[in-house]
Structure formats: structure tokens, C-alpha cells
Amino acid sequence: MLRNRLVVLGLLCPSLLVITGCAPGASGSSLAPPTATQIGAQGPVLPNPGNPPISKQQQIQAGLQAAQQVYQQMPVLPDSSPVTQYVRALGNRLAAQIPQQYSWPFQFHVVAEKDINAFALPGGQMFVNLGAITAADNAAELAGVMAHEMSHVYLQHAAKMAVQQQQTQGIAAVGAGILGAILGNGAAGNIANAAIGIGANLYELRYSRGDEAQADATGAIIMYKAGYNPRAMAQFFQKIEQQGGPGAPQFLSDHPNPGNRVAAVDQEVAEWPAKNFTNNTQNFIAARRNAQGVRAYSAQQIQQQAQSGYWARMNQQDGAVFNPNGTGAPTATPAGQAPNQAGPSTMGNISYSQVAPRGGMQSFQGSVFTLSYPANWQASSDQNGGATIAPAAGASGGSVAYGVVIGGTSQNVGALSQATQSLVQSLQQSNPGMNVASQPSSLNVAGQQGESLMLRSNSPITLNGQPLAETDWLVTVARPQGGLLYMIFIAPQRDFGRLRSTYQTMLNSLQVR
């Protein structure tokens, strides 16, 4: 069993995002807007988001309360939906670009609404309509919408607006003011007005053109850092603006155009270092196809059914239940930390039939990697870019008995063999009794140099009070941009052979950025 908190070769994403030269807010102003984009050695630098007099915890709590209302009064897809899984992976990739000191506990959800729209609540709860997914022509366009909404959270626009309108009389008032500010007059806005009691004047708190311009500029930086062309964001907005007139997308009402978005973004990115961008992926194509096959409702239909409690019942029936602590999947081990960080958590005996892969394979997209995994297993990311993929019965209390833990670093680690040896030593220091069971061997992983070796330790699964012997297959891969990605495939020794072909399939599908 791998246990204890341990930094292993640094964090995967924050080390990619060493932010230097962030300009502080204007002296004496806690609501100071971000300054003009600065260009560092690694490209554009995210601005200082300011510091409104509403604490981070208050904003998170207000967002959680509002998100709970959305689940009660709008149709939301369950976490198990392939569409939600893709949106969550894409969102995690974008969120990983935010430096840790400014990060928020982002969670991503999909609403079964036809309108082209998305909204993000303070604290990081983001909802993306099916209409926005199907309207996007490629992954970069959808990433643009999400990066724009993420920027509103990063810049704390809603909290600043609520303060300016004196909506700070406790958490409930903040939540009402913020929700009204964000959701506007669409289906979600009208539902919020009825459910939370927002006054009509609060609709005036919708984002200003200045807020939109700031969110465009900051979203462009997030996209750039995540490997997507920032121009795709402005181009998508321009495309939906061309659908004006009766039945125009709700996004146009909730997000006033700050001006010529394409020209503004072009001006922003003109001096940024050249970079090879991701435009589209097979994962997006599959998710969009799945989204087209899911029943979506108009704003009017959603409003008509909201007050009767229909959506709350339907969401419950479909398994779409809001979990303020996350997705309900196994807790992801933060990148750069050893698996099973919760310590010596033990699990009762588990039969292989409870964890056996079924239903083919589905795709998971992390911030710097993509791979396939069994359809009946669950994948969970963390804000640092790491991931845990495991069957529901195979992980508990932070311990992983069956599954894969992924992490790494972007820092220069020198020779791969030396980095692998250092990683093994670090794991052994935090896991007494772990032994190396094989010599490292070289292998090719997705065209990159890799190393493989077997470790032996104790499983969190106990039988007659004794832990089972565990096999931990460690694979390290050199990243094309420098740094290291590691994967630890875990199973009790008795069952590892049965899972070896599945683990090999997962490794063969790995793509590293």
C-alpha cells in the first residue's frame, strides 16, 4: 500500500506555471481591475485578480448554494455521462493553468438545455449547456467558452459586483446577488429569481462590457497556456453573434459584446511567443456526437417544469445528484504525491468480479496527457493535473487497491533513469516495506522514451486481518516539452495478472504533451 503525503519531483502543473511579474492591484483598492497583459519568458502572464472584501470561503459557499439550486431546478447530466466526463477533463486541463495561490476548487457540470450558453458561479462551479457543446465546431471553441467563464471566477467579477451593489449582508444575500448577476434573464436566471428571491434590480448586475473584455483577455491566456488557440474563443463568440434576431443564443444576452472580440484577441496575442496549438481531438468529436444524442430542452420548457420539482426528481432518478465535495469518484492523488495519501486506510476483501473491466474503453483527457480506461471505472482529476482511475470498489478513503495513479513534474529532471531511481527512492521512504521486484527496463511510450519496473508492497485489502501482497507497476515517461510523467498500475498480486492486459491497453493508448 502506498501511503503518506510526499512531494515527488514537484507538482505537475504549477511548475509549468511559474508566474512572475504579476502586477498587484492599485494601492488602497481591494477591487482593482487586472492590469494589461504582461509577457514573461514563458509567454503571457495571468494578471493579479484583485482582492474583494468577500472571503474566498464565502464565495465558495455562495457558489455551492447556488449550484444546489441549479440541480434542483434544471436538468443536469449525471457525472457518469460521457459528455460530462469530457467537459470535466477539458475543464481540469484549463484550470490547471491557474497558479495555485489564485486557484479555486472548480467543478464542471452539463445542463441539458438547447440554448448556447454557459455560466460559472463564484468558487468554481461551472455549468455548460448542451447547446454550447453542439454549437462548437472543435475542441478549441468549447475550450474558449469555458476559459472565458473560468476567467470570471478567477477575476472574482461576481463578488466585486455584489460588493458594489451592497449585496454583502451575509452569505445568503451574497449568493442571491451573485447568482442573479451571473444568470441574467435566461432559464437559469428566471429560476434563480423564483427560487432564491432575487430582486429585479439585481439583473442589472450582469457582467459589464469591461468585465467581458477582461474575461476575454484572461481566457485567452488560459487557452494559450493549455495549448489551445486563443483566437478560437473570439471566433466562436463571433459565430454565435451572427445568429442574431429572434431566437438568438442566450449567451448574447448574458454576455454583452465588449467590441470587436476577434480584433481585440488578435491584438492581445500578436506579441506572444509562437506555439503549436491543439485545434480538435477525437475526444471532442466523440463527446459532441454523444451530446447530439442527448435530449435537450428549451429555456421555456425548463422554466415550466422547474417550480413543480420535476427536474429535481428527474435528476435524482438519473443519478445527477450534486456533491459539494466533488464527483463521487475516487479521490485523485495530487500530482507529485504518493498514492493513498490518506495513510493506512484498510479495505475488506474484494472479489475480482467487483472490479473487472467491462463495457469497453472510454477516453480521459488530462492537462498534459490523454489515455483510455475501462468504461465501468471512474476517473478523477485534481487541480494540479494528476489523476486517479479506479473501479468504484477498488478505492476507498484515499487508498487505491485496484487502478492507476498518474502524476509527474514539468521541471527538468535530467536523465530519465536517474529521475526514475529518485522517484522509487522517494516512494520507498514514504512506504516502509516497499521493495523493487525487477530491474528497470526501457520501453517506448507514445513515441517517447520510457522506463518500466515492478514494485512490491502491502495492499490496503486485508484477509483474515492481514494485508494482501500488492504489485505496483511503475512506468515513467519523458515529456516532449521536458519533465516527467509517471503512472503506477496497482492491484493485489493475486489479481495483477488478470488486469495486466487492461493496464497494457491503457499504456498503449497514452498520449503525452
Give the orientation angle of helix 310-318 with respect to helix 56-73, to 10 degrees.
Answer: 100
Instruction: Give the residue-averaged pLDDT of 352-375.
Output: 90
- Find the length of the chain: 513
Number of other CB atoms surrounding residue 470 within 10 Å:
25
**For residue 409, what pLDDT is reported?**
74
* C-alpha span between 339 and 374 (Å, rounded): 20
| pLDDT > 70? residue 303 | yes
Please answer whether residues 1 and 399 qualify as being in contact, where contact means their C-beta atoms are separated by less than 8 angstroms: yes
How would residue 509 be classed by pLDDT, with cut points 50, 70 and 90? Answer: very high
Instruction: Give the residue-averaged pLDDT of 400-410.
Output: 87
Please answer whether residues 369 and 386 qualify as being in contact, where contact means their C-beta atoms are separated by less than 8 angstroms: no
> What's the half-sphere exposure (Cβ side, CA atoms, 13 Å) at 37?
23
How would residue 39 be classed by pLDDT, with cut points 50, 70 and 90? Answer: low
Instruction: Give the residue-averaged pLDDT of 197-216.
Output: 58
When comparing pLDDT for 465 and 186, which is higher?
A: 465
Paired with 251 in beta bridges are: none
Paired with 113 in beta bridges are: 297
**For residue 132, what pLDDT is reported?**
94
Q: Which CATH class is domain 352-512?
A: alpha beta
**For residue 472, what pLDDT is reported?**
95
**For residue 28, what pLDDT is reported?**
31
Q: Is pTM beyond 0.85 here?
A: no
**For residue 473, what pLDDT is reported?**
96
Please answer whether residues 124 and 104 qualify as being in contact, where contact means their C-beta atoms are separated by less than 8 angstroms: yes
> What's the half-sphere exposure (Cβ side, CA atoms, 13 Å) at 390?
32
* C-alpha span between 320 and 313 (Å, rounded): 10
| pLDDT > 50? residue 205 | no
- The tens digit of pLDDT for each residue in 48-65 reads 888 887 788 888 888 888
| pLDDT > 50? residue 340 | no
* C-alpha span between 142 and 154 (Å, rounded): 18
| pLDDT > 70? residue 413 | no
- The tens digit of pLDDT for each residue in 113-168 reads 999 889 998 889 999 999 999 999 999 999 999 999 999 999 988 877 766 654 43
Number of helical H runs and strand E runs in the chain: 16, 18
| pLDDT > 70? residue 78 | yes
- The tens digit of pLDDT for each residue in 14-35 reads 222 222 222 223 323 334 445 5
Number of other CB atoms surrounding residue 438 within 10 Å:
12
Query: What stretch(es) of the chain map to CATH 3.40.1000.10?
Result: 352-512
- The tens digit of pLDDT for each residue in 217-238 reads 999 999 999 999 999 998 888 8
Q: Which amino acid, one-letter code, is at 243?
A: Q
CA distances from 360 to 325, 357, 364, 377, 466 (A): 29, 8, 13, 10, 34
**For residue 177, what pLDDT is reported?**
46
| pLDDT > 70? residue 354 | yes
**For residue 228, what pLDDT is reported?**
93
Number of other CB atoms surrounding residue 252 within 10 Å:
16
CA distances from 449 to 113, 367, 446, 452, 479 (A): 45, 20, 8, 11, 8
Query: What is the percent of the chain where pLDDT is above 90?
Result: 33
**For residue 411, what pLDDT is reported?**
67
How would residue 496 be classed by pLDDT, with cut points 50, 70 and 90? Answer: very high
How would residue 254 be classed by pLDDT, with cut points 50, 70 and 90? Answer: low
Strands (E), 429-513: 435-436, 441-445, 448-463, 466-478, 484-492, 511-512
**For residue 393, what pLDDT is reported?**
87
